[in-house]
Amino acid sequence: MSLLWTFLGIAFAGWAVARLFLGYGAGDPALRQLASREQAFVRAAADAVFPSGGGALALSGSEAGAVAHVDRYVDSLSPRSRVLIRLLFFLLEHATLVFPAPGWDGIRRFTKLSPAQRVAVLDAWQRSPLAVRRTVFQSLRAIVTMAYFANATVLRGMGLAPLEMESPVIDADLLYPPIGRPKSAIRFTPADRERTIVRAPLDPHGPLDPAYRENA
What residues line the site for another protein (CB under 8 A)?
48-51, 53-57, 69, 72-73, 76-78, 80-81, 84-85, 119, 122-123, 126, 129, 131, 134-135, 138, 141-143, 145-150, 155, 158-163, 165, 167-168, 170-183, 190, 199-202, 204-205, 209, 211
Nearer to another protein, 25 or 182 (CB): 182
Please answer whether residues 136 and 122 qualify as being in contact, where contact means their C-beta atoms are separated by less than 8 angstroms. no
Q: Least CB distance from residue 97 to another protein, whole Å?
A: 22
The SS3 assignment for 52 reads coil
Compute the least distance from the CB of residue 79 to another protein, in Å: 9
Beta bridge partners of 208: 163
- What's the min distance (Å) between Cβ of 163 and another protein? 7
- Which distant-in-sequence residues (6+ apart) come within 8 Å of 184 by Cβ? 177
Report the C-alpha gap between 27 and 35 in whole angstroms: 7
In the bound state with another protein, the residue whose beta carbon lies nearer, of 84 and 97, is 84
Beta-bridged to residue 163, according to DSSP, are 208
State the minimum distance, in angstroms, from the CB of residue 108 to another protein: 19
Minimum gap (Å) between residue 191 Cβ and another protein:
10
Q: Select from 55, 158, 53, 44 the least CA-distant residue to 101.
A: 44
**SS3 (DSSP) at 119:** helix
User: Whole-angstrom Cα distance, residue 45 to residue 115?
Assistant: 9
